[in-house]
Structure 1
Amino acid sequence: MHDHAPFDTAPRSGQMHPLVARLSTEFGWPRLENASDLAEFTCRPGVHCLFVPGDSARNLETPDAAVVLPELRQAFQNGFDCAVVGDAIEADLREATRVLKTPSFLFYRDGTFLGGIEKIRDWDDYLARIPHILAVKG
């Protein structure tokens, strides 16, 4: 469900784009900063989507993805909860899931990784891919 690309090891700008920050400040989505946060969030019952923003200074799609994800959640009738992946665990998570390009959305159910969507896509592509990912039996 995702494209493979070389692992991104370039230095990050350290600045969080305001549209990414808004996901936590306005929508109340947790920011996962360590492996414990990640495990606690993804192992909860239900379906979860992790937003891996990447470096918004280098990746112009990051702000777009930060706007798209709340709309997707609404389109799927809040069928999954969301969190933002912090810089400290992003590289390890990308490597573990093999979803290497950013921005990306990583889907989990009850602690099991289901699949990911990399980069910005057409709306219809999301509407086709997400049900397919959610149909995966963990």
Structure 2
Amino acid sequence: MTHPLIDRLTSELGWPHLADAAALAEFTARAGVQVLFVPGDPRRNLESADVAVILPELRMAFQGRFDCAVVGDAVEAALREQTGVLKTPSLIFYRDGTLIGGIPKVRDWDDYMARIAQILAQPVAAE
């Protein structure tokens, strides 16, 4: 990570920084809803810093209904390919280890609120 607003998520808020595939798998397998923040390159994509500011606010607006982590560069490309959420910055949602949705690029507040509510309302797929 190379931007202070992204670094703040791990240093001040204590969110995990998922630097390898094992950490990514462990985090997404947890019970409940997990959100992965995929920042991309904040030097090339100025929206990454915007999402780094918006995501903690979204978590508060949804009363902590999901936990968050920041995806590291080493696993970002594989995760984007695996989930089909190719644009960055993005938010990728998992529930109990299962992908339930993604939101690419920065959005306005109302769009985030509607999309996240829709994602959180997804039924858990039967196995």
TM-score (norm 1): 0.88
User: Residues 95-110 of structure 1: matches in 2 within 5 Å?
Assistant: 95-110=81-96
Cα shift at 1:137? 2.2
Q: Are 1:49 and 2:35 counterparts?
A: yes
Shift of 1:80: 0.3
More helix by share: 2
In the alignment of these two chains, the number of paired residues is 124
The unaligned stretches of length 5 or more in structure 2 are none
SS of residue in 2 equivalent to 1:27: coil
> 2:24 matched to 1:76?
no
Letter in 1 for 2:44: R
Aligned equivalents of 2:49, 2:102: Cα separation in 1 = 18
Match in the other structure for 2:12: 26
Mapped partners of 1:71, 1:16: distance in 2: 21
Question: Once the 2 structures are TM-superposed, how far is the Cα of residue 136 of structure 1 from its aligned partner?
Answer: 1.6
State whether structure 2 residue 108 is matched by structure 1 residue 122. Answer: yes
Question: What amino acid is aligned across from residue 128 of structure 1 in structure 2?
Answer: A
Q: Which residue of 2 aligns with 1:16?
A: 2
Percent of residue pairs bearing the same amino acid type: 67
Q: Which amino acid aligns with 1:82?
A: C
Q: Secondary structure at the match of 2:102?
A: strand
Cα deviation 1:98-126 (Å, max 9, x = unaligned): 00000000000000000100111010001
* 1:133 pairs with 2:95: no
SS at match of 2:52: helix
SS at match of 1:38: helix
Query: SS of the counterpart of 2:99?
Result: strand
CA offsets per residue over residues 7-59 of structure 1, 9 Å max, x none?
xxxxxxxx511100000000000000111101110111010100000000000
SS of the residue corresponding to residue 65 of structure 2 reads coil
